Amino acid sequence: MKKLKLNNEIEIPMIGLGTWLSRPNEVYNIVKEAIKLGYRHIDCATVYGNEDEIGRALKEVFSEGIVTREELFITSKLWNNRHERNDVIPALEKSLNDLNLDYLDLYLMHWPVAIKKEIGFPQGPEDYISLEELPIIETYRGMEEAHKKGLAKSLGVSNFSKKKLSQLIKDATVKPTMNQVELHPYLSQIDLLNFCVENGIALTCYSPLGSSGRPKEMLASNEPLLIEDPIVLELAKKYNKSAAQIILNWSVARGTVVIPKTVTPSRAKENLESSDFELNQEDIKKIDGINKDYRYVNGRFFTPDNGPYTYENIWDEGM
């Protein structure tokens, strides 16, 4: 298993198991099976609503001697309704309790979007708190306190633009180690990748295969199917690999961590084996060339009319 060293010298396995949209019972089964297959990195989040099942699976693999806690890298994320500084540690402790863990290896701020404490998922503009009212650094200070208490070995963010990440690096006492973003050949994020490399921040790719299984309300009509791209299929045939393995290999070759979601053991095995070969530089450039700057998870579900957030100010594009 290839690993990437973070800026705090902690190593993270470059292929992990994503758990977003894993239904009840499925996530328990796949976490156990994935660890038996050799996965050592599990990506979780409060809002996924399944950390208790993941915790049951983790407790069992520890008690059965399949793996030790120290051998695993577990990530979770702070949801948007716990951005008040004093709410961060209780939110993290709830995740730890659900996951049956004493600490996280990495804790991320899930979105640069704040919502009111009593709101699970916002429905209208009145559910939001602007970043002027509740700045990112205020939330991050709570995360730094959790780090100081030993509840999270590493800190980071998710869905952060270069602009927001640059400001956080300036303001933070504990430098963020990671930015988890949508990243795949149709959204190659080369500018953000170069910025993160220059500043010692690692990138994790979510929805690395195009996230075609996300909820129907998040699907766009006639969206491009990454897994069926002609260049990807051509290379899959050339290397005698699946399209998914070509895409995941490309991600790791760029120095990024990747967390494909699956609930199928055979697919999990295939994903894990995606780094067992090397794409040549010419073929990596071919994949680089299919970028469309296309977001499958575009954040528009946080942009109601008259709300404080827009597509442009979430991603800092065109501003």
Q: How many residues does the chain have?
A: 319
**Rounded to an integer, what is the distance from CA 318 to the centroid of its chain?**
24
Q: What is the DSSP string of 108-174?
A: EE--S-EE-TT-SS--SGGGEE-TTTS-HHHHHHHHHHHHHTTSBS-EEEES--HHHHHHHHHH-SS
Strands of the sheet with 73-78, listed across from one edge: 17-18, 41-43, 73-78, 106-109, 155-158, 178-182, 202-206, 257-258
> Which is nearest to 47 in space by CA: 101, 4, 109?
109
Query: Is 95:74 a contact under the CB 8 Å cutoff?
Result: no
Report the distance separating Cα 288 and Cα 158, nearest Å: 23
Residue 41 makes CB contacts below 8 A (sequence gap 6+) with: 12, 13, 15, 16, 17, 72, 73, 74, 75, 257, 259
Taking residue 276's Cβ as centre, other Cβ atoms within 10 Å add up to 9
Is residue 48 annotated as a catalytic residue, yes or no? yes
- Spot the catalytic one: 39, 48, 206, 296: 48
Task: Please list the active-site residues.
Answer: 48
